[in-house]
Structure 1
Amino acid sequence: MNVPEKLADKLAARLPLIGDRVDRSPVVAVVRLHGVITPTPSPVSRGSISLNTVESALAKAFGHDRLLAVALAINSPGGSPTQSALVGERIRELAAKKNVPVLAFCEDVAASGGYWLACAADEIYAHRTSMVGSIGVITAGFGLTGLLERFGVERRVYTAGEHKHRLDPFSPVKEEDVAWLKGLQGELHTQFTDWVKQRRGDKLADDPDLFTGEVWTGARALELGLVDGLGSLREIVGQKYPEAEISVAEPRKPLLARLGIAGGGASVFGTAGDKVLSAIDAVEQRAAWSRFGL
């Protein structure tokens, strides 16, 4: 027997037989949902959430071969109602397909769309100091009436369709446009409320302020039935699944980010206009966080 064969025999002797292998520990897969919820992330923002940005992480988490449960680590001030709904529905779809429980953990803030995401879980937990709730709808913008005239600029707008030109920031506010907007907000608010009631059921307290857009600490949210308990992700997972490993499912990075180009390339190849728009987006996203002192 030559030397390579002897080494191979020694190695084989040390390896356990397939039938003798010790079962590997089950896994609780963690998906981070951090940032403003928007379909158009800014390369200079603090992160963003959309179905596109979290799909790969969700697929990894729910596709684990030793999956015991999925934990959502949520830190979001909200954002797009549509993206909130799409991500929430995708989580429920995967949970039903894999037949595993989903736990949500509210970190600094899970408000508005952030709480919409939390309601995709079977159980919701928060830190006693977390900001939770804001079950409502908000629309913000700027009124720039007179700005163009000040610089001698004449704006010309041509439309086909009676209501094509609504809520123009360079034109005076029209009451009929505001009424139309409030109608949309009311419809979205109803959908949000129905989702929370569907997911939380009789856990919710009978409180008249529950769906007013108010925000509460995690401790108060527990009293109102918006969350099921207080504690951190590792603390609660350790209590509920002491035998499990915690595995973070990272999203797939864009190609340019994987090549080490920051911001996915927008800051490198974008036009000056793109950079200005990105800066405006970043300011708006920063404002969303600042509402909660973050």
Structure 2
Amino acid sequence: MTSQLTRALRIGIVLVGAVLAAVVGWILFYSVPDTLADLLGILLVIVTIIIGVRLAGRVAGSIYPEYDVAEVAVEGPISRDGDGPPIPGRGGGTPSDDIVEQIHAATDDSNAEALILKLNTPGGEVLPSDDIRRAAMEFDGPTVAYATDVCASGGYWIASGCDELWAHDTSVVGSIGVIGSSVNAAGLAERLGITYERFAAGKYKDAGNVLKEPSSDEREYLQGLIDDYYDHFVERVADGREMDPQAIRETEARVYLGVDAYDLGLVDHLGTRDDVEARVAELLGRDEVQVREFTPHRRLAARLRGSAQYLTYAFGAGLSSSLENTDGLRFRF
């Protein structure tokens, strides 16, 4: 059924509902308005018409929906609360739980036969990123990830759980890597006369404490954690993208323009948003599709930020995680 015919049928149902509501309201409440009660009756007729139109609109939307594809946007740094790691000059992103909620809403919506994930993110925390990826994988239908400006690190992690990944020629894609960091203030503490006394149970409990120089054993231990996280990242991407893990490792956590990412097999197709919709229509076996964006409530700052703020972060960040302990050690995937 074409979108024009669907729209006409919806309008027809709404008009019929309005007429029926007007008739019912007139019969129930209206007479010659020569008293206050009669005037109140006219107002009740109007209220009944409004209610009838709304009910008819819901019925029409249920019988002849305006959309058959859901779109959910993942924009900005990915974190549980939408704030992201403390990068100066960069706004927050959308809380990951809100994104997951919208994907689940699309999954439960019988009208949404396919899912488009619009990705414009430099990455973010591990578990929130994986929650979004898992939610997309649970969608019962074609899932197409679409990279706009930036799809790096945690964004690429999410995309690896979709059936296809599209990007512009000049999208920034990649950053499949891990970084860990810890401030080392041992020298400064010594100059200031600050000493560190250890009270801990467990050999590595205070590994990465900012007030002490890490031993070679502790460095090896922390690097082992980074290597384990990286292996996990590569494994997930290799499974989702059906790629050779070695080919992923050879990217060395670099970011690429979309055209180069396509040549490396990191992206399935290059194209515009119209091309993405045409591809979804092809996957559903129809001539065209109607897309509805499932949008969570966002703070004003999140809506106003620009994706250019995140470009520098995308070049240096991996799929970041706030696995930060009281000793000041931070790992970022």
- Secondary structure of 1:38 counterpart: coil
Q: 1:205 to 1:173 in 2, by over 3 A?
A: closer
- Which of 276, 291, 307 matches 1:236? 276
**More divergent stretch after superposition (164-173 vs 210-219):** 210-219
Matched, 1:47 2:92: yes
Q: State which drifts further: 117-126 or 164-173.
A: 164-173
* 1:115 Cα deviation after fit: 0.6
Deviations 1:21-72 (A, max 9, x none): 9833442211111122334643885223664242222222323331121111
Give TM-score, length-normalised by structure 2.
Answer: 0.64
* Residue in structure 1 matching 2:262, options 201, 222, 239: 222
Alpha-carbon distance, 1:82 to partner? 3.0
Tell me whether 1:36 sits opposite 2:111 in the alignment: no
Alignment of 1:85 with 2:107, yes or no, is no
CA contact (8 A) 1:105 1:232 kept: no
Q: Residues of 1 paired with 2:246 and 2:225: CA distance?
A: 26
The superposition leaves residues 9-30 of structure 1 with CA deviations (integer Å, 9 ceiling, x where unpaired) of: xx89xx89x89x9833442211
2:40 corresponds to 1:4: no
Trace 1:189-208 onto structure 2 (pairs within 5 A).
189-201=230-242, 207=247
- Residue in 2 aligned with 1:132? 173
Q: Is the 8 A contact 2:129 2:154 kept in 1?
A: yes
Q: Which of 189, 206, 209 is residue 165 of structure 1 equivalent to? A: 206
Distance 1:121 1:2, change over 3 A: closer
The whole-number CA distance in structure 2 between the counterparts of 1:125 and 1:195 is 19
Number of the residue aligned with 2:110: 65
5+ long unaligned stretches in structure 2: 1-22, 31-41, 282-286, 303-309, 318-333
SS at match of 2:199: coil
- TM-aligned CA deviation for residue 153 of structure 1: 4.0
Question: How many residues align structurally?
Answer: 254
Taking a change above 3 Å as real, the CA distance of residues 288 and 174 of structure 1, as seen in their structure-2 partners, is farther
RMSD of aligned alpha carbons: 3.6
TM-score (norm 1): 0.72
Q: CA deviation at 1:125?
A: 0.4
Q: Evaluate the alpha carbon distance shift between residue 235 and residue 116 of structure 1 in structure 2; reply closer, same or farther with a 3 A threshold.
A: same
Partner of 1:114: 155
Please tell me whether the aligned partners of residues 80 and 95 of structure 2 are also in contact (alpha carbons under 8 angstroms). Answer: yes
1:291 is aligned, of 300, 304, 316, to 316
More displaced stretch, 163-172 vs 238-247: 238-247
Aligned AA (2:112): L
Q: What per-residue deviation string (whole Å, max 9, x for no partner) do you get for residues 246-289 of structure 1?
A: 21111245xxx6xx9x89xxxxxxxxxxxxxxxxxxxxx89734
Q: 1:169 to 1:2 in 2, by over 3 A?
A: closer
